[in-house]
């Protein structure tokens, strides 16, 4: 009977229950539970398994460049990182309030790591997240414009509760990319959140975006009431002589 039950659980894709029941049988612990306790144990195992798989799917869909963790952020005195601010951001209530986070600082100092760490935490808490390199995103949108999938790509971006734009401002925006950025910001304003990382200080973003009227409109929506982290100090990559993905 137990073998049949396990087979049915597996076929119904109740993998949490399957493994918990199988483990209980193998260790002889089924006799330690009352019927109510065994049911509660199996339901809890199924719940945890589904939650874990959901988180894994969300993280996979987010397409982070590398794995990052809030717990592994380094708070060296010369980096100007406020631990309390990072902890407040990690609860992701800023996403509920549709607020943005702007992270600036020189290359290799750990901007992307902090952005990714907050993004990972958002995935764990159940938010839809998309991480992307800004230049790659707008190159992709140009291709989408050409093959007719542009609106579909914009809709996918709009569905994300948290969009992480890494390496913002590495190159100036041309007219097409500027228009796409305006559409993205307009679609998301007051409804979802952004994290933007940039080597340039926010005061320089106006020049990078170009076209005064459009730049004003975009920056008004991005910068107003945004949380800011301005990293200082020398490159973490040079300091450790390690690969970029390990700098944080």
Query: What average pLDDT does the segment 12-38 reach?
Result: 82
pLDDT for residue 100 is more than 70: yes
Domain count, the chain: 2
Alpha-carbon 1 to chain mean position: 45
Q: For residue 227, what pLDDT band results from cuts at 50, 70 and 90?
A: very high
CATH number (domain holding residue 69): 3.40.50.300
| DSSP class of 241 | T
Integer angstrom CA distances of residue 8 from 13, 33, 53: 8, 22, 20
**Is the predicted pLDDT of residue 245 greater than 60, yes or no?**
no
Average pLDDT over residues 97-114: 93
What is the pTM (predicted TM-score) of this model?
Answer: 0.78
Q: Are residues 143 and 239 in the same domain?
A: yes
Query: pLDDT class for 96, splitting at 50, 70, 90?
Result: very high
Residue 206 makes CB contacts below 8 A (sequence gap 6+) with 212, 215, 216, 219
Q: Please identify which residue in the block is written with the tokens 């992270």.
A: 103
Which range has the worst mean pLDDT, 17-26, 110-119, 162-171? 17-26
Q: Which two tokens stand for residue 171?
A: 């190159």
Q: Which residues contact 180 (CB under 8 A, 6 or more apart)?
A: 138, 141, 154
The answer on 90 and 140 residing in a single domain is yes
Alpha helices in 161-200 (DSSP H): 175-188
Between β-strands 227-230 and 101-104, what pairing exists: parallel, antiparallel or unpaired? Answer: parallel
Residue range 178-225, pLDDT digits in tens? 999 999 999 999 999 999 999 999 999 999 999 899 999 999 999 988
Q: What are phi and psi of 179, to 5 degrees?
A: -65, -40
- Residues 111 and 52 placed together within one structural domain of the fold: no
Q: Is 74 found in the same domain as 160?
A: yes
Label residue 13 by pLDDT band (50, 70, 90): confident
Percentage of the chain surpassing pLDDT 90? 58
pLDDT at 247: 47
Same domain, 154 and 207: yes
Asked if residue 229 and residue 158 are part of one domain, the reply reads yes
Q: Are residues 9 and 76 in the same domain?
A: no
pLDDT surpasses 80 at 177? yes
3-class secondary-structure state, position 172: coil
Q: Are 124 and 12 part of one and the same domain?
A: no
Q: CA torsion 202→204→206→209, rounded to 10°?
A: -100
Range of the domain at 148: 63-246
Please indicate, yes or no, whether residues 96 and 174 belong to a single structural domain of this protein: yes
* pLDDT 10s digits, 131-153: 999 999 999 999 999 999 999 99
Q: Are 46 and 90 found together in one domain? A: no
Report yes or no: 89 and 118 within 8 Å, Cβ to Cβ: yes
Q: What is the pLDDT of residue 231?
A: 92
């Amino acid at each position: 009977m137990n073998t049949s039950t396990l087979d049915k659980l597996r076929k119904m894709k109740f993998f949490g229950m399957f493994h918990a029941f199988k483990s209980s049988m193998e260790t002889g612990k089924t006799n330690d539970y009352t019927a109510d306790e065994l049911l509660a144990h199996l339901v809890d195992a199924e719940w945890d398994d589904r939650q874990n798989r959901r988180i894994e799917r969300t993280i996979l869909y987010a397409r982070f460049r590398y794995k990052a963790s809030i717990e592994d952020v380094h708070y060296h005195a010369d980096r100007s990182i406020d631990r309390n601010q990072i902890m407040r951001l990690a609860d992701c209530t800023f996403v509920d309030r549709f607020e943005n986070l702007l992270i600036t600082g020189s290359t290799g100092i750990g901007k992307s790591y902090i952005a990714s760490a907050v993004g990972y935490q958002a995935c764990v808490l159940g938010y839809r997240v998309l991480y992307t390199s800004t230049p790659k995103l707008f190159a992709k949108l140009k291709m989408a414009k050409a093959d007719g999938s542009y609106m579909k790509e914009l809709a996918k971006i709009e569905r994300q509760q948290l969009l992480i734009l890494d390496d913002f401002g590495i190159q100036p925006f041309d007219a097409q990319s500027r228009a796409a950025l305006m559409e993205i910001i307009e679609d998301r304003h007051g409804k979802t959140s952004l994290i933007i990382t940039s080597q340039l200080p926010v005061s320089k973003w106006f020049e990078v975006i170009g076209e005064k009227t459009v730049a004003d409109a975009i920056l008004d929506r991005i910068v107003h009431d945004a949380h800011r982290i301005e990293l200082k100090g020398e490159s973490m990559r040079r300091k450790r002589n390690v690969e970029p993905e390990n700098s944080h």
